[in-house]
Structure 1
Amino acid sequence: MTASTTRSRLLGSDVARLGVSGLVSRPTRAVLSALGIAIGIAAMIAVVGISTSSRAELAATLDELGTNLLSASQGKDVFGEAVDLPLTAEASVGRTRGVESAATTGTVADTGVYRSSAIPAGNTNGITVRSASPTLLEVLDASVAEGVWLTEGTARYPVVVLGAEAAARLGVTEPGRHVLIGGSAFVVAGILEPVPLAAEIDSSALIGEEAAEALAGSPVHPTSVYVRADPDRVEQVRDLLARAIQPKNPTEVEVTRPSDALAAQQAADQAFTGLLVGLGGVALLVGGIGVANTMVISVLERRREIGLRRALGATRAHIRRQFLAEALFLSLLGGVAGVLLGVAVTALFAALRGWPPAIPPVVLVAGLVATLVIGALAGLWPAVRAARIPPTEALQS
């Protein structure tokens, strides 16, 4: 007569049930352990999501404003002194092949802007008085938030248009108010929306060229020339711009593309994002250590359970799977919570900044995969340790 033996089996559904039951029986500890994982994943997803949303906003801004804006400004001579751009700069640039439109601004030196005569001289709040050509608004693709822009008719009179930041610093919220410029009362004709590609305009008080000449007592030389180039010929125009403005000394003119500055700023933000993602990774590692600690304690507390299951036929492999599954579920709990929290933080921050929320799906998937890897690594040693406990020793504990 032959004896038959039946090998003990543990189905996948049984492994899942045992793993979940281990967490449910200790909910407080499970939540606290999963919290470390959640914080790490949330930090990483939020940082990447905010950075991606910022890039999406930048791309939308550049699509709207274009990358064909060039800016030329005063350079320096061999002695390090700023060189005035010629009064004919706008006309000269306008005749350059590939240029669609041009405009200039000129700084009116030693002239402050004050809300009233009660403001002490010198307290200008960092507002610069600039002359502006009538085409400036069109070239910068800027818009007026309140009121109207300067015209050829109003440019010769004491009329001013304030940049968004300048208006805020002066406390001017609507057109029709008066401000003092160079001791003379100027009526505010308009307030501009922020100009992303020419941030210096935001903190400027813009007046007509003739009004600026009257304040300065002489023609005001341009300090900046803004050019819209044919999108297909931006680089060619960039190479010709300095020579068109200063034919004899083109090295005394600095030519830039404002969109490049925004892109450079974005690159710096990405480097900072990398640092924050690294910090999120550290938090995730700490969370993994917390999971490992929780599983070690769980093994110590459940030695009798382990011994009883071994006595009833459970193999070492079954015990390993049980505790490894528990670690994976614990990490997955933190991962899901972290993903949801990271998405919520990104959406909230983007909404407050007026950005389109953008989180690459691969980041969400990578976050969950990272939690499973952390859970597997954190739970492997406790699971092996649990499987190696002799049944008799476990039952006696």
Structure 2
Amino acid sequence: MTTVHPARPRLSPARMAPRDVVRVAAAGLRSRPARALLSALGIAIGIAAMVAVVGVSSSSREELDRQLAALGTNLLTVAPGRTIDGQNAKLPTEAEAMIARIGPVTAVSATGAISNAKVYRSDRIPKVETNGLSVLAARVGLPDSVGAGLRGGTWLNGATGRYPAAVLGAAAADRLGIGRPGPRAQILVGGEPFTVIGVLNPVALAHELDTTVLIGWDIATDLFGFDGRATTVYTRSRESQVEAVRAVLAATANPRAPGDVDVSRPSDVLAARRAANATLNGLLLGLGAVALLVGGVGVANTMVISVLERRAEIGLRRSLGATRGQIRVQFLAESLLLSALGGVGGVLLGVLVTAGYAAYQAWPAVVPAWATAGALAATVVIGGVAGLYPAIRAARLSPTEALAAA
């Protein structure tokens, strides 16, 4: 009679919980704190250099973008052109409202020419001496749209725009001899007395305003029969959508005759700005790759030396039942933990350096989120790759070989 013995259960090594893996990896780093600190410091310096370079460059670019934005990279103008038969075209009275409905457009304002009004300092000036000045009806939001600032006085508002009040362009004020606006600063516009309530600084984006006298839309209609049609519409739009906005401006301003509308082309500064951004992005990626490579080499060097110095520990753990996989996981975890500590310290140091330099230069401090997140992720990946070979090498050591070499 054959006796059937029950199959013996196959023994499998105990698995280490993730918490135990982290604990063992931390213990390995604590056993050599000086070396771990120096290695983490090397990684931190590399990551800090990358983050600081990206941050300082981004802050500088933000400042550059502000300066270029002041030059009107997103400013487009709309004006009536000529009809098919060569006559001067006119914009519809609702052109501004229709342009304002374009999604990417952020600001719209306008001026309207008043051709039947001449400007003089007083009634004693000969009629032929007009000083080359023109009169424009202006919307209240014009300064914000063209980036105009006041040299003195105030701009037109809903109240003063209904009364004989005027704002002079910089050159117009000089030619009329108006040094300071106020109740005593009087000029004649179309034979009507107007009080100068403000004087503009030179307008870099709209030089034509420097030689004009600007009055309210309502008073222009009441005194000079202004028909309410804009002769120049100034639009601001999101920079990324400037070309798209330009493509629809003519048809939006005058749907019946888009060919009768002249639209300015985007500023050349916009193309230069984008080219500079592309160059800076390539430079930042290159510098970041070099910094990460240096950090990865440091991690790999530290872990290889750690394996060589800790062969006795490896042999003892193997003789007590630790598997090759557990040894591999231990050293890989040490590498990842070392890289993560260096990465976090490097990101913090890089942010502090960026903030300090930006404050010194009076720039806006900008550290892109992709730079910090990318630096942390890259250090972990580099740490894993750098620690993979030492981990595999440690796992291949047999217990007798490790203990004999100790």
TM-score, reference length from structure 2: 0.54
Q: Would you say how many aligned residue pairs link Structure 1 and Structure 2?
A: 287
Distance 2:47 2:271 in 1: 28
Query: Between Structure 1 and Structure 2, whose CA radius of gyration is higher?
Result: 2
1:332-363 per-position Cα deviation (integer Å, ceiling 9, x unaligned): 01111122233334444555444363623x54
135-144 or 269-278, larger mean C-alpha shift: 135-144
How far has the Cα of 1:10 moved from its partner?
3.0
Contact 1:56–1:356, Cα closer than 8 Å, also in 2: no
311-320 or 262-271, larger mean C-alpha shift: 262-271
1:193-248 per-position Cα deviation (integer Å, ceiling 9, x unaligned): 9x7x65x99xxxx9869xxxxxxxxxxxxxxxx96435698557789xxxxxxxxx
Choose which of 169, 174, 177 in structure 2 pairs with 1:155: 174
Structure 2 gaps of 5+ residues are 80-86, 97-109, 114-131, 155-166, 181-197, 213-230, 238-244, 252-262
Question: Do structure 1's residue 392 and structure 2's residue 400 form an aligned pair?
Answer: yes
Contact 2:134–2:211, Cα closer than 8 Å, also in 1: yes
Question: Do structure 1's residue 333 and structure 2's residue 341 form an aligned pair?
Answer: yes
Q: Which residue of 1 aligns with 2:234?
A: 229
Choose which of 70, 75, 94 in structure 2 pairs with 1:68: 75
CA pair 270-303 structure 1, distance change in 2 beyond 3 A? same
Letter in 2 for 1:320: R
CA pair 48-102 structure 1, distance change in 2 beyond 3 A? farther
1:94-117 per-position Cα deviation (integer Å, ceiling 9, x unaligned): 9677693389xxxxxxxxxxxxxx
Letter in 2 for 1:257: P
TM-score, reference length from structure 1: 0.55
How far has the Cα of 1:377 moved from its partner?
0.5
Contact 1:157–1:208, Cα closer than 8 Å, also in 2: no
Q: Give 1:91-102 correspondences, 5 Å limit.
A: 100-101=110-111
Question: Do structure 1's residue 10 and structure 2's residue 29 form an aligned pair?
Answer: no
Q: Which residue of 2 aligns with 1:308?
A: 316
Question: Do structure 1's residue 274 and structure 2's residue 293 form an aligned pair?
Answer: no
Q: Give 1:176-215 correspondences, 5 Å limit.
A: 198=205
Distance 2:345 2:133 in 1: 54
Question: Do structure 1's residue 287 and structure 2's residue 295 form an aligned pair?
Answer: yes
Letter in 2 for 1:337: G
Q: Which residue of 2 aligns with 1:298?
A: 306
Contact 1:41–1:339, Cα closer than 8 Å, also in 2: yes
Contact 1:134–1:150, Cα closer than 8 Å, also in 2: no
CA pair 373-230 structure 1, distance change in 2 beyond 3 A? closer
Letter in 1 for 2:366: P
CA pair 17-228 structure 1, distance change in 2 beyond 3 A? same
CA pair 41-102 structure 1, distance change in 2 beyond 3 A? farther
How far has the Cα of 1:55 moved from its partner?
5.3
- Is the partner of 2:375 in helix, strand or coil? helix
Letter in 1 for 2:48: A
Q: Which residue of 2 aligns with 1:23?
A: 29
Contact 2:78–2:234, Cα closer than 8 Å, also in 1: no
1:132-170 per-position Cα deviation (integer Å, ceiling 9, x unaligned): 989899473221477898558733267899xxxxxxxxx
CA RMSD between the two structures: 5.0
Distance 1:35 1:316 in 2: 30
Contact 2:48–2:348, Cα closer than 8 Å, also in 1: yes
Choose which of 374, 392, 398 in structure 2 pairs with 1:366: 374
